[in-house]
Amino acid sequence: MPELLKPTGLTNEIRKDHNAMRAIAGHTQVKPDKREEAQRGLADDMNKLPAGVNNLGLKIDTESNVITDALNFTPPTIQWRESVQPRDDGTFIGARAKIYQKEATLGNWAIVYEKVEDAKAALACMNKACKSIDVKVPDPVKIAVKLFNDQTKKPLNRGEKIKAITDKLSKKEYENVSIFFIILEKRVADQVYDNVKDHCQKVLGKQSQFFSNMTKKEDLSVMTNVILGMAVKLGINIYQIPKVPGMNTNKKDSVMLVGADICHLNGRDSVVSVIATSNSTYTTYYSASAFTNHRGDDLMFAVANLVQRCRANYVKQNGHEPGTIIFYRDGIGMGSYDEVKAKEIAPILQELTSKAANPEVVPKLTYIIVNKRINDRFYTEVRGELKNPEGGLIIKSAVTNPMGFDFFMVAQKVQMGTATPTHYECLYNDSTLSSDQLYIQSYYSCFNYFNWRGPVKVPAVVQYAHKQAELLARSTPRRKN
């Protein structure tokens, strides 16, 4: 009976109420010492249960959760034009350093705007910000868009705004533009973002960068990050992470990193996205996606073909096969592992073998499930006080699977609440990579997400795959029942 049902979750009104969210955070963002205190209290209460209640005489050992052989890797040195050592929390000040690639330029770019004053302010700020990072910003092609109806004296509706922008960008006179820098009010940008970005990518084959942060106060740091984002989209190498010893030194030990995710949105086809590195420094990427009719099913039925496309691109760019493919697959439940082996791993192996130019040179495969939604928590004890671990913590025993290979990693230093680790479980591996190499590569890869100057929670290829799958799913029309 609908009248007896009660909605759950937080409404948009509650989410916008800062006082309410602060009060909720007091219960959800529990610090390590308070969390441990509550857990020990529960264990003590259970240990004190009388024999009549605890018929089996079970006891909880409150010291059984101590792990003594955890690893803690230090953040890698980030190579901009000069080496930059990250802070203790893993973040690095690369936004103020010259980028790794010399003589970089935005080339033939365009600025798209509704208000001419916003365009002028953005250009003035960009011309100042670009000097500190040594990226040349030539005079852009200027494209004004009209999002107001002169007859009705009212703004265009959402569909009309999308059409006005996409029609303007599709004009033949702009076919040589490499990237569109689109400045709109945040309210308008939120309405058109998915569709305009999708049109630029899929129809025009061009990059786009939205910006809706124009204020009266000039913010060079924000604009610096915008320029860096545009540079990355144009294939400019802004920084590099160090190579893992014994990896990417020659053809035989070359490694292609692959990240895969699937996105489900109500009423739309599910989208499988795969992102793969295409060079030995992990600074260029290739993406491949597919829509699937298996809506709501977390299995990636099209993944083998997508991996083959990534592998073909790697061969085209490098002139040789990758020695090993490390495949990071965004989380799926343990109950589906057998299906993953049958419907994802087996087809990938078959595709790699059947499409090999030389049967004796087939890439090895390391297939790893990456799970973020887990209940495990780890703290470190510092002078008798429990704290969140520094970034780079690896848990490889005690709570891992003794019959296989898996580990937990905390890549970031968390300041609020208790850090949630990421669980990595290897379902298939025929490579010669050592466990230490996989630990280090997985950690270092968290620093390769160019939208953030520090580590993210998962390897960058997984984060990129997630972003692309979500973008494509949101920009796809809903299916009619």
Task: Compute mean pLDDT per 10 residues along the chain, 481 residues long, and list them.
Answer: 65 83 84 89 90 84 88 94 88 78 95 93 92 94 93 90 96 96 93 92 93 71 91 94 96 96 84 96 94 82 95 96 97 92 96 88 96 92 90 94 95 90 97 97 96 94 95 71 39
Query: What per-residue confidence (pLDDT) applies to 480?
Result: 46
Query: What per-residue confidence (pLDDT) applies to 3?
Result: 59
Q: Residue 110's beta-bridge partner residues?
A: 141, 180
Q: Residue 275's beta-bridge partner residues?
A: 259, 287
8 A C-beta contact, residue 254 and residue 322: yes
**231: part of which helix (H) or strand (E)?**
helix 220-233
Question: CA–CA distance from 180 to each of 73, 255, 303, 451 (Å)?
Answer: 40, 33, 31, 18
8 A C-beta contact, residue 288 and residue 465: no
Query: What per-residue confidence (pLDDT) applies to 23?
Result: 86
Which residue in 478, 475, 477, 462 sits closest to 202, CA to CA? 475
pTM: 0.89
Q: Residue 277's beta-bridge partner residues?
A: 285
Tell me the H-state helices in 141-262.
Answer: 158-169, 186-198, 220-233
**Beta carbons within 10 angstroms of residue 474's beta carbon:** 16
Query: What per-residue confidence (pLDDT) applies to 481?
Result: 39
**Beta carbons within 10 angstroms of residue 329's beta carbon:** 25
Query: What per-residue confidence (pLDDT) applies to 265?
Result: 83
| Residue found under tokens 């887990």 | 374
